[in-house]
Structure 1
Amino acid sequence: MIIKIFYAKINLFMEDHKLKVFCTVAETRSFSKTSEIIHLTQPAVSLQIQALEELYETKLFDRSSGSINLTPAGEILYKYAKQILTMYAEAAKEISKITGLIKGCVKIGAGITAGNYILPAIAVDFKKRHPKIRVSISIGNDKKIIEMLNTSLIDFGISSEVPGKNKYTVEPIISDELCIVCPPDHPLGNQKSASIFDVIKEPFVLREEGSSTRFVIEKFLAEHSLSVSDMHVSLILGSTGAIKEAVERGIGLSIVSKWAIRKEIACGNLKIVRLKEGKITRDFYIVLPKNTILSPAVEEFITYLRNYTYADLL
């Protein structure tokens, strides 16, 4: 009896895994992307699909046009496979409530600021409470985060931009302030506050066009009938770390997230210039595909994010 139960569990896992591979191929329309998501080689992905096609004695994908599309039989299997995988996820959640044991993997996609300066500390604290849960953080711009969500490379994203609300669930999780920073010996660093109209006369180091930080800066300037062309831009750099280094070396001022400069401010390597016109702010959001069933591990991490004391990081 014990041996029968053991083999039944193995068979259940194997069929579950095949269905995950099949659904991922159906959603990404790519064996290579599926290989990356599922962490299998492409030949192994092909073998999983071949096994299902042999089981049902029919083709599940049509590859004749150079693209990968579901056949009518594949459409039927995809419909029921999604229902089966949803039931597996719901069963895992119910069982974890009874046992109190949560394990699995949490895959997060985050922007540069959240991914480099906020999430690492949170992930470390989370792991101390849940050592059996693996946490993976992929860093990219907001467009990349949406691409990773659409291809199931991540469970959820942390983004500063709000994507289409018809397709995604969006929840504000933490606020951010973009601060004007200068070297410690700069005259503006000793003033109580300064006007944006005076500050923009100084040399500036900025992020490249298209970055979310640059977008927020441009929006703030527009609110005061200004633009980047009104600034004295001396250097454009593609990372926050490079910008901080440039400002510390005295090439100019910059505008960066408060989360990215907390160590430099504490050490006295940078100073914040307060604006008379008020703060430059934005929010970070949790972004999820609508109607997705979250694993117990992912739900636990999102709950942890909601209740985290972010002020402790500053």
Structure 2
Amino acid sequence: MVCFGKFRHPGRYFEKGVMDDHKLKVFCTVAETKSFSKTSEIIHLTQPAVSLQIQALEEVYETKLFDRSSSTVTLTPAGEILYRYAKEILSLYANAEKDIGELIGLVKGSISIGASSTLGNYLLPGVITDFKRAHLKIKVHLLVGNTKRVVELLNSGNIDLGLVEGDVTRQKMVVEKLIGDELLLVVPSYHPWAKKKEISISELTKEPFIIREGGSGTRQMIEKFLSKHGITPQDLKISMVLGSTEAIKEAVENGLGVSIISRWAARKELRYGSLHLLRIKEEKMFREFSLIVNKNSVSSHAVDEFLTYLKAYPFEKLLS
């Protein structure tokens, strides 16, 4: 192995003959989140490991990069300089990978995707499986979390693109509507409502109702929809509060109540006949799934290939 010494120059870091962009990604994440603990959660490293990455950079440049004296972590003047160079370097790495891939006509590399729960659990696995059949040399990493977490990951450069439900702030991102999602009432196949295609919204107050936990985007949408039609959470006979769609489906199947879920989430149960979906008579409950990318990021050849594939994907076939 050929080993090079450390070349100390703002914006360049070579060690052991390899361009090490990992430390720069960790550094940028700390700078943007202003938190070692939040960085630890986002990039799936322990907090001591994050500190070691920063310490290694501080040893290279022989100066402190962060001021840790206050309750928040802030960049020192030297840190501000490195942050500016680091963003340029990471962008250049991405450009190099893209240009070389296009030159040799080989699409390879890895893609990191962040997705909110409905998309990550029920739509993307099928899309990624189909994509991988045609692109064997591209590795796809999928991280599932709430919309806030996906936005944090995108802003810190730890994912290449995000797929989320609901509204997101557009300041640093390009937001593009991808597909629609209808939320429907779900009941067990032996429930009296299973013979119907729709019911009046007032009927919901007469049945035990299972709802997602507080803070869930789906719950917020349901409560907003019910409120629009004069129904408060207190009007419902809430029998259970559960933390996932899978848990809700299981509870509904076992006759513990009715609920409202995404039509995408019940595909398997509908196929086997264990659940039945109905619409609310008064109005459709509809939301959008959006694709988000960072305005200033440079996408790799692999990411461009996936985005093209994703935008042309026949999502409706997943419902058949």
Write the letter of the residue equivalent to 1:270.
L
Report the alpha carbon displacement of residue 228 of structure 1 after superposing the two structures with TM: 2.3
Report the alpha carbon displacement of residue 282 of structure 1 after superposing the two structures with TM: 0.8
What is residue 120 of structure 1 aligned with on the other side? 125
The normalised TM-score by structure 2 is 0.83
Counterpart Cα distance in 2 of 1:250 and 1:291 = 50
* Matched length: 306
Aligned Cα root-mean-square deviation (Å): 2.9
Report the alpha carbon displacement of residue 254 of structure 1 after superposing the two structures with TM: 1.0
Counterpart Cα distance in 2 of 1:17 and 1:148 = 15
What is residue 267 of structure 1 aligned with on the other side? 272
Structure 2 portions without partners, runs of 5+: 3-13
The normalised TM-score by structure 1 is 0.85
1:185–1:312 Cα change, 3 Å: same
Counterpart Cα distance in 1 of 2:15 and 2:134 = 30
Asked if structure 1 preserves the Cα contact closer than 8 Å seen for 2:165 and 2:290, the reply is yes
Q: Deviations over 1:21-68 (max 9, x none)?
A: 5444433445663697396944762464045315xxx54444455764
Asked if structure 1 preserves the Cα contact closer than 8 Å seen for 2:181 and 2:286, the reply is yes
Q: Which of 255, 262, 273 is 1:257 aligned to?
A: 262
Aligned-pair identity (%): 49
1:268–1:38 Cα change, 3 Å: closer
What is residue 227 of structure 1 aligned with on the other side? 232
102-111 or 17-26, larger mean C-alpha shift: 17-26
What is residue 79 of structure 2 aligned with on the other side? 74
1:212 paired to 2:217: yes
1:35–1:10 Cα change, 3 Å: farther
Superposed counterparts of 1:1-314, under 5 Å: 13-14=18-19, 16=21, 19-29=24-34, 33=39, 37=43, 41-42=49-50, 45-46=53-54, 48-50=56-58, 52-54=60-62, 58-63=63-68, 65=70, 68-314=73-319
Asked if structure 1 preserves the Cα contact closer than 8 Å seen for 2:26 and 2:50, the reply is no
1:120–1:182 Cα change, 3 Å: same
What is residue 9 of structure 2 aligned with on the other side? none
1:177–1:76 Cα change, 3 Å: same
Asked if structure 2 preserves the Cα contact closer than 8 Å seen for 1:24 and 1:34, the reply is no
Counterpart Cα distance in 2 of 1:17 and 1:140 = 22
Counterpart Cα distance in 2 of 1:239 and 1:222 = 23
Counterpart Cα distance in 1 of 2:21 and 2:242 = 46
What is residue 6 of structure 1 aligned with on the other side? none
Asked if structure 2 preserves the Cα contact closer than 8 Å seen for 1:21 and 1:49, the reply is no
Write the letter of the residue equivalent to 2:104.
T
More helix by percentage: 1
Counterpart Cα distance in 2 of 1:39 and 1:192 = 49
Asked if structure 2 preserves the Cα contact closer than 8 Å seen for 1:171 and 1:285, the reply is yes
Write the letter of the residue equivalent to 1:235.
M
Write the letter of the residue equivalent to 2:96.
A
Asked if structure 1 preserves the Cα contact closer than 8 Å seen for 2:150 and 2:164, the reply is yes
Asked if structure 2 preserves the Cα contact closer than 8 Å seen for 1:21 and 1:34, the reply is no
Does the residue aligned with 1:52 lie in a helix, a strand or coil? helix
